[in-house]
Amino acid sequence: MSSNPLLDNAAADVLRPDYDRSKVEARMCHIGFGAFHRAHQAVYTDDVLRAGGNWGYREIELRGPSAPLRALAERDYLYSVVENAADGQKARISGAVVDHRHMEDCGPQGIVNAIADENIALVSITVTEKGYTLGSDGGLDFDNPDVKADLANPDQPRSVVGILVAALEARRKAGLPPFTVLSCDNLPSNGHLARRAVIDFARARDKALADWIEENGRFPSTMVDRIVPAMTEESYRLLAERIDTEDPAGIVCEPFRQWVIEDDFVAGRPDWDRAGATFTNDVVPYENMKLRMLNGSHSFLAYLGYLGGYETIAETMEDEAYRKAARDLMGKEQIPTLEAPEGIDLDDYADALIARFQNPAIRHRTWQIAMDGSQKLPQRALQSIAHHLKNGTPCPRLTLLVAGWIRYVSGTDENGEAIDVRDPLADKLKTLANGGTAAERVERVVTGSGIFPAALAQDAAFKASLSENLQGLVEKGARRMVAELS
Ligand code: NAI
Ligand code: CS2
């Protein structure tokens, strides 16, 4: 008889790991035991285990709280996942995790050793866009304080890139092949960016190591999708109702999930296609589609929705003007910039996204999506704006999105209340976005933030339009500006 409270208490219709967990091996490390990984890669892996695989995860957490991982370990690494839709829920207990390391407990060397372990064939990462410590040219940001600290002290790394390089170095020294690095963050060509950051860091330390990684390392790109908001008291309550116990590592997400993976691995991988993932040679069209259509309209709804007084995406979508603006942003301003992945109709994709955003059972806060805009806007909006400027085609919604972001990072909402802006550039952006006329604020942000490509920063007509939108947001407010789009 089991003594695990999750297995003992869960309702009868909860899917359980019905495979022999003693046969599941830690063949993969995952860096970033956040909300997304628990509901995405680990769920795909749980499904592959049900289908007969044996690759499981050793979770690596560098800076988040240690409580969820400790709780996970106490429960034999089982945790619950609830898919929440307006018409009901589906729950499972996932068995894909079998081990963990937390920086707090084992320090940098313990982390590096756990990754360099010869049984580890693959290291995946979900560490947010800023975790890649990239500069605006797509290479490693050598001015980033974490990068500087790790280069000064490479045996005690704390940044993701410093840790990956130290672990790869240990593999090389031991005469072992490297592991695959699988980026699962919302960055365009995320594998290429991870590779560039790792090789830049390695080259700054040891040319031979960099050459070895360049030649032998593999960094496949991926398109990842599932809406997984940060947990709230309400979602923990829902978990407790479904599983009938407290589960601090549990997670609530939407039913939809998608994973498109470049099939380029050093030493094998789980057959995630058995769980619905797609392996392909070219992920770029999928990534661009998702980043521009889903994430671009998410950011639109986040900034303009927050400023308009809406707390969640679903609430924002109840406002018809916002819903129409989001659909038109996808259809009129993003689709024309895209090459459709084979077999996908982009208008159908847009309609499906609108339906997902309207899911009332998912409380995804506008404030959460508004975080880290400096790391998100280039791939979600600025590249598309550059496309329109080059082609002489209008993009009023993308322009309003960027104006909304400038208004947001200025740090004061429409009622004069302070906004809790979370962004690695928050202080700098606040200074740039405040003081003087709308045109002066726009000029400072566009030329001084370091995130706008030259094609935009030097375009007088674009900056004039952005200034008009910012002025409009200040004078009329976000709701009216969105309503005036149609
Ligand atoms: P989260 O806040 O729950 O977890 C973030 C994870 O990243 C934590 O493990 C944290 O320790 C780690 N992290 C953050 N900054 C770091 C840094 N500088 N160095 C090392 N580790 C760092 O966030 P969540 O929801 O798991 O999302 C993480 C990323 O996953 C997103 O930024 C995005 O790129 C990707 N993603 C998220 C989706 C979602 O709906 N939540 C869906 C698709 C992709
Ligand atoms: C969101 C994404 O937080 C954000 O910026 O746009 O995390 C979004 O929920 C996912 O990419 C959906 O796959």
Sheet containing strand 97-102, strands side by side: 97-102, 55-61, 25-31, 122-125, 180-183
Ligand 1 centroid – CA 2 distance (Å): 33
Atom of ligand 1 nearest to the CA of 226: 42
Residue whose CA is at the smallest distance from ligand 2 atom 1: 369
* 226 CB near ligand 2 (under 6 Å): yes
67 pLDDT band, cuts 50/70/90, is confident
pLDDT at 64: 85
* 193 CB near ligand 1 (under 6 Å): no
pLDDT digits (tens, 9 = 90+) for 326-381: 999 999 999 999 999 999 999 999 999 999 999 999 999 999 999 999 999 999 99
Average pLDDT of the chain to the nearest whole number: 96
* 225 CB near ligand 2 (under 6 Å): yes
Mutate to test the pocket of ligand 1, among 128, 163, 225 (most ligand atoms within 8 A of CB): 128
pLDDT at residue 471 is higher than 90: yes
pLDDT digits (tens, 9 = 90+) for 104-133: 999 999 999 999 999 999 999 999 999 999
* pTM exceeding 0.95: yes
pLDDT at 245: 83
Ligand 2 centroid – CA 38 distance (Å): 15
Mutate to test the pocket of ligand 2, among 227, 329, 371 (most ligand atoms within 8 A of CB): 227
pLDDT digits (tens, 9 = 90+) for 225-268: 999 999 999 999 999 988 888 898 999 999 999 999 999 999 99
State the average pLDDT over residues 162-173: 98
Ligand 1 centroid – CA 480 distance (Å): 33
Asked if 274 and 48 count as a contact pair (C-beta separation under 8 A), the reply is yes
In the chain, % of residues over pLDDT 70 = 100
pLDDT at residue 280 is higher than 50: yes
282 pLDDT band, cuts 50/70/90, is very high
Exposure on the CB side of residue 412, measured as CA atoms within 13 A: 8
Atom of ligand 2 nearest to the CA of 295: 6
Written as six digits, the tokens of 420 are 């809790």
State the average pLDDT over residues 440-461: 97
Least confident of 23-37, 66-80, 169-183, 356-370: 66-80
pLDDT at residue 441 is higher than 90: yes
Ligand nearest to the CA of 365: 2
pLDDT at 1: 44
pLDDT at 2: 54
Residue 99, beta-bridge partner list: 58
Residue whose CA is at the smallest distance from ligand 2 atom 13: 225
pLDDT at residue 166 is higher than 50: yes
Residue whose CA is at the smallest distance from ligand 1 atom 4: 34
**Rounded Cα–Cα distance for residues 213 and 173 (Å):** 12
Exposure on the CB side of residue 312, measured as CA atoms within 13 A: 16
